[in-house]
């Protein structure tokens, strides 16, 4: 009987494979499954150790689960992906190889170009990617597509939170209820009412992976403390806990940042959904059910569903529309190298120090530290967009090129000149002080612009507005700070420029 090898990549660990293969007439009798761990890939950049542990452990558990379902599994460790495939072909001699189109540009290049060049006689079939809903054409034709338009179309298409063709509750968007700052008692240090996220202690497979990752000399981040779920069953339990305990407060405190509480009411599901252990639709359905059954308010549920069928799918569609040029964009001509504190957390700036420490400890911060602290600083300081992009790709457990590059190059540092968002997310210390508890433990004063104790974000912010006044002044969404700058006394503007320069020289 003709034999097919199904090569499953590490970010394609979906429980739907059996169903997808059945649609193609494939089953345990005429197909076997291949997984390859590439030693070169594990050392391709300073990956966070938790990322390596998570991906390797999830892939090994997934292979075991397929074996338990009666599939013949060839799990290979090889110097490179290509060598792993060649060794498999030599040993098993399948008639053809089936892969699902990778989610990233480099992955697709590997499958569609390198493999074909290296193995011209290989009967290779590339099936469409089943992990995402959106395609570039769903963005319409505008250079800067609007998330809100895209999201409403996705709501209509999926039917989530729709009542008779209208948005549930009468509104598409409850963002105005989702911007609460930290509660007063959290500012005083009381965080007992924030539910902890469940921990899944490493089993024997994960412990073996941890021992191997400890030997990868190029890796970064803490080795200890890994507690993410690595199987479908545990991923579902992890998500159920979010729906029961954190979803009700997810919306209102979505943008709040609290010292020592990096996850707050967030779902922390991005590592799981990005490798396929959880699915967009089951998460949206569970969240909607929680609202319809009265367990969670509409503003939280709508906010969560918007992240999944709005932002996540929007970002994926933009990636595929704009690559490969997106990765190289540098509209603001920023050239500074990435400051060392992104790697070692050695800075007096409490917001940056705590955010980097959280990344070191668990490869995670929630969205607002990524956007309004880590990217905001890089943008204001004029860091080379490709340098901060590389850092995000390496340092987070949930990082993959399709999601990092549009979020960093586009949303984070505005190097795309306004494709992902219509304006730069630039903010001074005022925003961080309002939305976080960091400034309380900082050596700098968020309310001062000039002098030794002034928060560096302030001078950097005005210096950024000054440097890009022409571009920002021409955009109605960003012209206000340019007008404010123009009304400042010339001596104050000069002092802010000098303060920003002194700080940048000290980095």
Ligand X SMILES: Cc1cc2nc3c(=O)[nH]c(=O)nc-3n(C[C@H](O)[C@H](O)[C@H](O)COP(=O)(O)OP(=O)(O)OC[C@H]3O[C@@H](n4cnc5c(N)ncnc54)[C@H](O)[C@@H]3O)c2cc1C
Question: Applying CB under 6 A, which residues contact ligand SF4?
Answer: 349-351, 429, 432-433, 438-439, 442, 444, 446, 455, 457
- Within residues 56-115, the interface with ligand X by CB under 6 A covers none
| Residues 249-288: x where in contact with ligand X by CB under 6 A, - otherwise, as a string | -----------------xxxxx--xx--------------
166 backbone dihedrals φ, ψ, rounded to 5°: -115, 155
Q: Are 39 and 79 a contacting pair, CB within 8 Å?
A: yes
Binding partner selected for residue 31 from ligand SF4, ligand X, none, CB under the kind-specific 5 to 8 Å limit: none
Per partner kind, with CB cut-offs from 5 to 8 A, the member of ligand X, ligand SF4, none near residue 432 is ligand SF4
Closest CB to ligand X among residues 115, 315? 315
As measured in angstroms, the least distance from the Cβ of 451 to ligand X is 31
Residue pair 459/449 in contact by the 8 Å Cβ criterion: yes
Block residue for tokens 């709508």: 302
Give the ranges where 251-334 is alpha helix by DSSP (H).
Answer: 270-275, 280-292, 298-305, 313-322, 325-328
CA nearest neighbour of 196 among 252, 256, 260: 260
User: How far is Cα 91 from Cα 73, in angstroms, rounded to an integer?
Assistant: 13
Choose the contact partner of 375 out of ligand SF4, ligand X, none; CB within 5 to 8 A by kind: ligand X
H runs (alpha helix) in 263-297: 270-275, 280-292
The answer to whether 309 contacts ligand X (rule: CB under 6 A) is no
Cis bond before residue 324 (omega within 30° of 0):
yes
3-state secondary structure of 428: coil
Give me the helix-helix angle, 490-505 and 456-467, nearest 10°.
Answer: 110
- Collapse the DSSP code of 167 into the 3-class scheme (helix H, G, I; strand E, B; otherwise coil) and give the result: strand
**Residue span binding ligand X (CB under 6 A) among the ranges 55-63, 148-156, 215-223, 393-401:** 393-401
Which of 371, 439, 472, 496 lies at the binding interface for ligand X (CB under 6 A)?
Answer: 371
Residue 312, interface with ligand X (CB under 6 A)?
Answer: yes
Residue 299: contacted member of ligand X, ligand SF4, none (CB under 5 to 8 Å, by partner type): none
Residue with Cβ nearer ligand X (262 or 446): 262
Contact window for ligand X (CB under 6 A) among 173-181, 185-193, 227-235, 363-371:
363-371
Q: Helix crossing, 232-245 with 280-292: angle to 10°?
A: 30
Tell me the closest approach of the beta carbon of residue 44 to ligand X, in angstroms.
16
Q: Which of 139, 230, 308, 455 binds ligand X (CB under 6 A)?
A: 308
Q: Is 339 helix (H, G, I), strand (E, B) or coil?
A: coil
Q: Does 392 bind ligand X (CB under 6 A)?
A: yes
Give min distance, CB of 74 to ligand X, in A.
30
- Tokens linked to 377: 């600083």
Q: How far is the CB of 361 from ligand X (least distance, A)?
A: 15
Q: Exposed, middle or buried: residue 57 (CB in 10 Å: 0-12, 13-18, 19+)?
A: buried
Contact at 8 Å (CB) between 290 and 247? yes
How many residues touch ligand X under the rule CB under 6 A: the total is 27
Tell the smallest beta-carbon distance from residue 143 to ligand X (Å).
19
From the list ligand X, ligand SF4, none, partner contacted by residue 378 (C-beta under 5 to 8 A by kind):
none
Find which of ligand SF4, ligand X, none residue 404 binds, CB within 5 to 8 Å per kind: ligand X
| Minimum separation from the CB atom of position 95 to ligand X (A) | 37
Pairing verdict, β 124-127 and 96-100: parallel
Report the candidate in 201, 208, 199 with the shortest Cα–Cα distance to residue 60.
208
Residues that bind ligand X (CB under 6 A): 266-270, 273-274, 307-308, 311-312, 315, 366-367, 370-371, 375, 392, 396, 398-399, 403-404, 407-408, 411-412
């Amino acid at each position: 009987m003709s034999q097919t090898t199904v090569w499953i990549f590490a970010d394609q660990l979906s429980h739907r494979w059996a169903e997808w293969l059945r649609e193609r007439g494939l089953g345990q009798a005429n197909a076997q499954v291949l997984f390859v761990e590439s030693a070169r890939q594990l050392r391709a950049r300073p990956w966070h150790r938790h990322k390596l542990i998570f991906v390797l452990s999830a892939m090994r558990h997934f292979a075991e689960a397929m074996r338990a379902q009666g599939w013949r599994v060839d799990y290979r460790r090889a110097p490179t992906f290509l060598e792993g495939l060649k060794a498999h072909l030599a040993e098993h001699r399948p008639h053809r190889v089936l892969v699902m189109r990778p989610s990233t540009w480099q992955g697709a290049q590997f499958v569609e170009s390198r493999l074909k060049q290296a193995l011209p006689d290989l009967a290779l079939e590339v099936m469409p990617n089943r992990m995402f809903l959106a395609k570039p054409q769903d963005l319409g034709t505008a250079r800067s597509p609007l998330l809100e338009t895209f999201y409403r179309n996705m709501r209509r298409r999926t039917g989530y939170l729709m009542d008779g063709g209208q948005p549930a509750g009468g509104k598409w968007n409850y963002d105005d209820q989702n911007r609460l700052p930290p509660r007063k008692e959290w500012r005083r240090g009381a965080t007992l009412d924030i539910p902890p996220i469940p921990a899944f202690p490493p089993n024997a497979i994960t412990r073996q992976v941890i021992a191997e990752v400890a030997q990868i000399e190029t890796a970064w981040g803490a080795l200890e403390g890994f507690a993410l779920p690595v199987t479908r069953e545990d991923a579902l339990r992890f998500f159920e806990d979010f729906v029961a305990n954190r979803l009700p407060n997810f919306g209102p405190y979505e943008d709040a940042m609290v010292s020592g509480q990096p996850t707050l009411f967030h779902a922390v599901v991005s590592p799981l959904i990005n490798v396929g252990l959880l699915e967009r639709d089951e998460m949206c359905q569970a969240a909607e059910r929680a609202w319809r059954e009265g367990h969670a308010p509409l503003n939280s549920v709508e906010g969560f569903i918007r992240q999944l069928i709005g932002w996540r799918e929007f970002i994926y569609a933009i990636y595929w529309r704009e690559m490969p040029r997106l990765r190289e964009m540098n509209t603001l001509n920023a050239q500074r190298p990435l400051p060392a504190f992104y790697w070692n957390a050695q800075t007096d700036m409490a917001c940056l120090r705590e955010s980097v420490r959280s990344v070191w400890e668990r490869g995670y911060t929630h969205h607002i530290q990524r956007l309004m602290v880590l990217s905001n600083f890089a943008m204001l300081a004029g860091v080379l967009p490709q340098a901060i992009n590389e850092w995000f790709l390496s340092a987070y457990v949930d990082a993959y090129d399709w999601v990092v590059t549009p979020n960093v190059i586009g949303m984070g540092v505005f190097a795309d000149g306004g494709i992902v968002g219509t304006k730069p997310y630039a903010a001074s210390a005022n925003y961080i002080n309002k939305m976080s508890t960091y400034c309380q433990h900082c050596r700098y004063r968020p309310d001062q612009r000039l002098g030794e104790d002034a928060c560096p974000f302030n001078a950097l912010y005005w210096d950024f507005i000054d440097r890009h006044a022409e571009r920002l002044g021409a955009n109605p969404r960003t012209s206000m700070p340019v007008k404010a700058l123009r009304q400042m006394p010339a001596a104050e503007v000069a002092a802010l420029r000098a303060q920003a320069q002194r700080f940048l020289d000290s980095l």
